[in-house]
Amino acid sequence: MNTNRLVTYIAGPEVSWFLIYGFVLFLGSQNQPPTYSGNLRLENMSWLVLITAIVISFIPFLWIQENRGWLTFRTGLSGLAGIFFISTKLCEAIKYNDSRDSGVGTLYVMLIMLGFVILSLGLICAGLVIRFRMQTLPVLKWLAIIIGVILTLSAIVKLLAATPEK
């Protein structure tokens, strides 16, 4: 196995999860000591960080063209571990020190459920691409466009909802 091929396999989905986990650790450290605005920021960013991490973990499908079944297994396994670790660190960084802390446990469960659903959909799509030997670049391109449109529309709705009435 030559070096270029070895680097291709090492730069798989696990690396993306480690990088996002480092980013989550950085976000959590910015909320020390916990503040109300920092807690709200982490609550709002937790969804986006988790969805982005899952989407980024499928990027190695662009350059790894061999053993895609093994790559799908690696993406699923590292995705499950990453979802739990990222959700845990995000929720550990949120502390209200009152009765609202019970809602953080609900956020944790919802993040894991959402992450599992999105990861499962991605793995099903990857399996279909592998099974029918479709070209992945157009599929991933349209998937990225759809996710980008959804995130943009949700950001616009959130911005309009946050605008105070006069």
DSSP letter at 165? P
- Kindly report the number of other CB atoms within 10 A of residue 60's CB atom: 20
CB distance 90 to 27 below 8 Å: yes
Instruction: Give the pLDDT mean for 56-67.
Output: 80
Which has more confidence, 82 or 43? 82
CA 151 vs CA 12, 154, 156: distances in Å: 25, 5, 9
- pLDDT of amino acid 101: 77
Which long-range contacts does 158-164 make (Cβ < 8 Å, 24+ apart)?
A: none
d(CA 161, CA 153) in angstroms, rounded, equals 12
Average pLDDT over residues 34-63: 86
Contact status, residue 16 vs residue 49, Cβ threshold 8 Å: no
Average pLDDT of the chain is 83
How much of the chain exceeds pLDDT 90, in percent? Answer: 26
φ, ψ of residue 93 to 5 degrees: the values are: -80, -15
Query: Does 105 have pLDDT greater than 70?
Result: yes
pLDDT tens for residues 115-161? 999 999 999 988 887 777 766 667 667 777 788 788 778 877 776 77
Nearest to 12 by CA among 56, 51, 49, 47: 56
When pLDDT is averaged across residues 84-94 and rounded to a whole number, the result is: 92
The separation between CA 124 and the C-alpha centre of its own chain, rounded to angstroms, equals 16
87 touches 111 (CB < 8 A): yes
Q: What share of the chain in percent tops pLDDT 70?
A: 87
